[in-house]
């Protein structure tokens, strides 16, 4: 699993665009505790930027009225939040028991060797990023791979190879 403790600072202040700002204002009225808004606010940041910078976390903390450390705790815990820019195709491989027992390591080894990208990295050309993640919730059809939010079950190296050929 990649190191999720390192935040990237852009040196640029973050603000929601008009669409996300309106959505934030609409959503925050639905939450009796403002801290409950951390998850959807981070999602809005990611929707806007594609990833979440240190400045965006500080912005979310300020908008919600909480400590930046609380936003950091949430953002670093959930692998659905991207803490660095991603490749055009972001590949997630589930690393939990069912996937491990049914061959996830062969898939991981294939990605590292054939796509030249290691867990937590973005390939130099920006085409692929790769991350091993905790449970993707498809234990009955393991191993599972997620690419840009789409799930691919009962994955094998051969199936992954065919799938990747369609992405270029």
Binding residues for [2Fe-2S] cluster: 94, 99, 135, 139
- What is the distance between the alpha carbons of residues 93 and 99, in angstroms, rounded to a whole number? 9
Binding site per annotation, positions:
94, 99, 135, 139
* Axis-axis angle for helices 18-28, 38-49 (nearest 10): 170
Strands 128-133 and 89-94: parallel
Q: Beginning with the edge strand found earlier in the chain, give each strand of the sheet holding 121-122 in spatial order.
A: 121-122, 128-133, 89-94, 145-147, 150-152
């Amino acid at each position: 699993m990649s190191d999720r403790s390192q935040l990237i600072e852009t040196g640029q202040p973050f603000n929601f665009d008009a669409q996300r700002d309106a959505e934030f204002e609409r959503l925050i009225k639905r939450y009796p505790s403002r801290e409950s808004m951390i998850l959807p606010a981070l999602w809005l940041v990611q929707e806007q930027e594609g990833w979440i910078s240190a400045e965006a976390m500080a912005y979310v903390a300020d908008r919600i009225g909480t400590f930046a450390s609380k936003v950091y705790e949430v953002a670093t815990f959930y692998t659905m939040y991207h803490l660095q820019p991603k490749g055009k195709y972001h590949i997630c491989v589930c690393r939990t028991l069912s996937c491990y027992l049914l061959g996830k390591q062969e898939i991981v080894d294939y990605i590292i060797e054939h796509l030249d990208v290691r867990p937590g990295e973005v390939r130099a050309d920006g085409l692929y990023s790769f991350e091993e993640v905790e449970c993707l919730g498809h234990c009955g059809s393991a191993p599972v791979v997620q690419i840009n939010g789409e799930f691919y079950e009962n994955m094998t190296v051969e199936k992954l190879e065919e799938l990747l050929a369609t992405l270029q």
